[in-house]
Structure 1
Amino acid sequence: MAYRYIALLGAACVDDPTRRPLAAAALRDHGLEEHRHGNHFRLFAAENTPLLDTPCGGVLVGCVFHRDGRRIDDSSQLPQEGDPQAFRTALTHRCWGDYVLLQETRGPSPATVVSRDPSCGIACYYATDSERRFITSDVALASHLGLFDRAVDWDTVAQLLVYTFVKSSRTALQGLRELLPGCSLHLGQGDDSLSHTWSPWDFVSPRHHQPGFEEAASNLRGVIDTVVRSWSRVDGSILVELSGGLDSSIIAACLGRTSSHVVCATLVTALPGADERRYAGAIATHAGLPLRSLALTAEHSCVDPAVAPWLVMPRAGPLQQLTDEIVRDTTRREGLRASYSGGGGDTVFSYLTSAAPAADAFIKQGPIAGLKAIRDLSELHHCTLWLAARLTLKKLRTRHPGPAAADWSFLKPATVDPPDAHPWLKGAAEQAPGDRERVTGLIGTQVLRDGLPRSAVSWLRLPLLSQPVMEACLAIPSWMWISGGINRAVARAAFADALPASVAQRRSKGDFLQLCAAIYRHNQARIGELLLCGELAARGLLDVDALRAFLDPSSSARGHAFMRIFDLCSIENWIRHQR
């Protein structure tokens, strides 16, 4: 089981002793025991959820490591700052992991401060109702206690329909928000407030830049290896989701040098484009690890599966649901404790498809570095130097980030406010174009767990999105990642001797587009029932005529529009399960 906890705040049981036994008994039914009773919060956690008391009177929920990878399993190994704010700063700078920190501040206006680590590893939701406050990894626990009544937030749903993959603190449930990674929530007697404990902009500044390509590659290799080794010692037995691409192959290569029991698994479909066994087999053999092939078929797909009660955002499409179930079942069948994925690797390794890296080189290093980056850019995209230069100049002239991408296909025209800006975007307008794109991409990776239901009930590790790896990658200038006209060049160089040449030098990628098309065809009739007679249509949010024309069996689906249909189905299906 994944880490599970709930902290009850203020009137939600702390100040009412008559309700304490009732809450404890109710949560015991869900496998949680009371572990901490402070002046302003009561903390309940599952038996397998690590807890550490802090020197400043708080408690850490989750797993914490020293920078060198040693796990912290005793409070004496934590930073010893007694002031809560000083401790938060020291913890962020000297440690890393998957954790949530709860603290109580002192003084005339006492408050509870909740901080979440930058890696998005352990969920953290909180209620905005001042009378029934809680912090939890699983909102179903609060519902069980009678502290939260599930109701769809239709304003958020309207935003999701238009800005499907934009991450903000809002959830699709009324009165429930998510504490975003690298942020702290201050809950006092007056208004609540948010602050940063970690910002990606601290690491893209020139003072953090790696001095050269070789040094950057060597440092990156060490950081990733440390992170993977650290987690492997915690988990012991691991399933690696191996696609055959660079990112997951790096994870497998690192695990192959550990003492953990590791099994690789690759997804296979009879349709063209997605059979990665050639590359997955090469890396598994190179790392000395067994490989399992997991079959994916459209016939086993579903567009209206059961929705887990802990899902607060409707982001799990039919392909994600199908793969999530297969990987979860394989992990259990093999008797393994955790699954590891290379998710987020493209983003953290600065796989940018624009001219932004060359623009960054001009801004930060001057004309000589800029011209070299233009040459690399032209080789990378197989275009002329003139075109690469023209696109770079255009990037240099566009110094302000544009609005979030909106998608109005199959929707009725309406007035929808864009989502709240992510805290990491504060100050983005003053940053170089490539750095803006990299940080925006990192924010986008925070939706990954929203679409993977198993991450709430089993350990799903995304090592490439850990705090040390993000920091190391951000400190490598964007133009260095395209050196020699090769994408993700630093990561390739870092692990060149640990990967078979066929994987280390691979430029292509497998995809499941053909399988997605087959899933659409297999579920086309049910999709029509779900969307044309559903809640979204009843509320006038969908363009029913456009949908009916697209779904007509006599018309052939053109392009990739069926992927948009999957997004609508995910939202509709989630809404139906909130009744």
Structure 2
Amino acid sequence: MSGFVLTIGPPDQAPPWLSKLRHRPVAGWVRQAVGEGADVWVQTGPARCTVLAEGPNLVFGDLQIYGSSRPQSMFRTAWDGPMPQARAMTRQAWGDYVHVGLPGRHRPLSIFRAPSGGLEAVTWACDGVRVVASSLPDWLAPALPPCLAINWSQVAGVLGNPTLHTAEVCLAGLQSLSPGGLWLGGDIHQIWTPAEFVEPRRARIDWAPELLATVDQVVKPWANARALLEISGGLDSAIVGAALVASEGEITCGLNYYGGDAQADERLFARAVAKRFGVALTETPKAPAPLDLAALAERSGDLRPALNGFDHIHDDHVAGLCRERDIGVILTGQGGDNVFFQTPTPLIAADHLAQTTLLELTDLARWQGMSVWRLVGDAVQARWTRPAPRPTPNLLTKRARELAAAAAPHPWICDLGTVGPAKRLQIESLANALIVHGASRRGEAARLRHPLLAQPLLELCLAIPAVDLAAGGLDRGLARRTFAHRLPQEVAERRTKGRLSAHYGQMIAQSLALLRPLLLEGRLVGEGLVRADRLEEQLCVEHLIWRGGYGALVNLIMTELWVRTWERRLQRH
């Protein structure tokens, strides 16, 4: 989704930079006054962020109301203050939005970011003006706070724990709202957390009807748009496509990417899905090619490292298709592994061990290739022992590891209380999955939506016990059973999973001549966060073949480019 900027300041005595912005057009953006002293700039284009103004309420992005198609109806109820209002919004609405309550005589300014995390929100004050924004375009430079700087402690945090990429930004001087967070009076309160939806006791009910209805609910808003569906050949994207068809939506373009090895070529399954939905499938090869560091650097100037745009060739190709075919929305199956529970682990039995039948234990043990006794033993140990700390990459220096250990945990994870081991694992994976909402070229060419990460589905699948999600001792077993009647049999019963790790490994291997100077002589090494000796060991073809570690290298590459880009911006600032 394209960006927005909101300024709230004096209507008559505005600082010079705000007066200029109010009276001079900004290329690619449109301005509108939304209240006394309040101005909004919205980026133009196919993925333009919508703005809803209802009294003192501003909503940016896509707001969906439970049981209503009129968002304005939400604000006709009298509220008791920003916190009750934010909590009420999580119960009555969902979507990728940011809500701002404009200040009034007895009403403080408030900012609430939707739990789904699909739209960014940061805020700061400059010259007596409060700014709220989803991105930091170059024209906004005069409004940035004088104290803006790279937060090296947070940089160390994201290197040690990539999930933190979806928490605080690595820029000191800004306050960033995590999904479900409320800014009020300079403090951020976490209004919505995944843990509150985890049920402490296992409910013996048939979850399938509610799961089917909820998936349809989160896909239906896009039924009237010209949709590009990424048909990977896997279960999750097929479920999204089936829900769109069930909602009488149109799949304008079905798109499949395939690599050169067997794990990366899922065309047989993708063709079966496309045939079932009656859509022509565009098949595009993914040939490994060296990274274009200039293209990646162009994506690195916003609030966070552009992890969602790392595969820049794919990113540019999808964006081009959207423009060529007048696509309104891109739909993916991202997040399905997390909400439907794809991970094989003994932890599944740990949360509700006493309520798990012998047959269920046998199915889980068979799936994971171990005995029932071993499964139960591991489950009991996990239930009554403290989770092991997350290991940090061995290429980080002692200083970086200390900073990473001291970094604030992700707000979704910091207080899990009595949440069981399997649900704890699911929540951590969901927090990490939010990375797919990051900035990208395809997200500028059309609305990029991941329905399986929508709030209603998150809440439902958090409430469903992990052992029920893995029904029959199968990864995503409940989802397979629920949607089997809508899918080709070979997809619903498929046990293999496509992977592109080898493809990305080849991209990195072909780019070593570029990556070695970028990283070994880079700012992360210069700041004493990364050990050059260990990094040099990993930047060789042999290590990539035998040890892998591509994810850590991607994180390092994109964070390095982000740091360099922001140091240049700050020098100009």
TM-score (norm: length of structure 1): 0.88
Matched residue type, 1:244:
G
Runs of 4+ that moved beyond 6 A:
553-556
Question: Which residue is 2:232 aligned to?
Answer: 243
TM-aligned CA deviation for residue 246 of structure 1 = 0.8
Alignment of 1:518-533 (within 5 A): 518-533=506-521
Q: Mark the runs of 5 or more structure 1 residues left unpaired by the alignment.
A: none
Deviation at 1:106, TM superposition (A): 5.4
Which sits farther off after the overlay, 528-537 or 198-207? 198-207
Mapped to 1, the partners of 2:277 and 2:543 lie a distance apart of 48
Task: Specify the code of the residue in structure 2 equivalent to 1:285.
Answer: K
- Among 541, 545, 564, which residue is 2:529 paired with? 541
Q: Report SS of the residue matched to 2:23.
A: helix
Partner residue of 1:122 out of 119, 124, 139: 119
Mapping of 1:47-446 within 5 angstroms? 48-54=48-54, 57-68=56-67, 70-72=68-70, 75-76=72-73, 78=75, 80-85=77-82, 86-104=84-102, 110-127=107-124, 131=128, 133-140=130-137, 143-148=140-145, 151-167=149-165, 169-187=167-185, 192-206=186-200, 211-213=204-206, 216-233=207-224, 236-257=225-246, 258-299=248-289, 301-305=291-295, 306-308=297-299, 311-316=302-307, 320-362=311-353, 367-369=354-356, 371-398=358-385, 400-409=386-395, 411=397, 414=400, 415-418=402-405, 419-446=407-434
CA 1:482–1:195 in structure 2 vs 1: closer, same or farther (change >3 Å)? same
Distance 1:556 1:356, change over 3 A: closer
1:563 Cα offset (Å): 4.0
Deviations 1:464-492 (A, max 9, x none): 01111111211211110122111211111
Q: Is the 8 A contact 2:339 2:458 kept in 1?
A: yes
Question: 3-state SS of the aligned residue for 2:101?
Answer: strand
Q: Aligned partners of 2:15, 2:403: CA distance in 1, in Å? A: 44
**Structure 1 residue 458: deviation in Å?**
3.4
Specify whether residues 142 and 347 from structure 1 end up closer, same or farther in structure 2 by C-alpha distance, changes over 3 A only: farther
Counterpart contact for 1:140–1:309, Cα < 8 Å = no
Q: Is the 8 A contact 2:169 2:176 kept in 1?
A: yes
Kept after mapping to 2: 8 A contact 1:84/1:103: no
Task: Output the amino acid matched with 2:227.
Answer: I
2:435 to 442, 447, 468: 447
What's the CA shift for 1:442?
A: 1.5
Q: Which moved more, 1:456-465 or 1:484-493?
A: 456-465
1:508 and 1:240, CA in 2 relative to 1: closer, same or farther beyond 3 A?
A: same
- Shifted more, 370-379 versus 491-500: the winner is 370-379
Is contact 1:4–1:137 with CA below 8 Å preserved after alignment? yes
Structure 1, 545-554 or 414-423: larger mean CA deviation: 545-554
Q: Which amino acid letter does the alignment assign opposite residue 449 of structure 1? A: H
Tell which deviates more after alignment, 400-409 or 96-105: 400-409
SS, match of residue 496 in structure 1? helix
Q: Distance in 2 between matches of 1:302 and 1:470?
A: 36
- Describe the SS at the equivalent of 2:150: coil
* 1:469 aligned partner: 457
- TM-score scaled by structure 2? 0.89
The DSSP-based 3-state class of the residue aligned with 1:64 is strand
Alignment: residue pair count: 558
How far off is 1:170 after superposition?
2.1
Higher deviation after alignment, 342-351 or 439-448: 439-448
Structure 1 residue 24 corresponds to structure 2 residue 22: yes
Task: Tell me how far 1:275 sits from its aligned partner.
Answer: 0.6
CA distance 1:308–1:199, change in 2 (3 Å) = same
Q: CA deviation at 1:181?
A: 0.9
Secondary structure in structure 1 of the residue aligned to 2:486 = coil
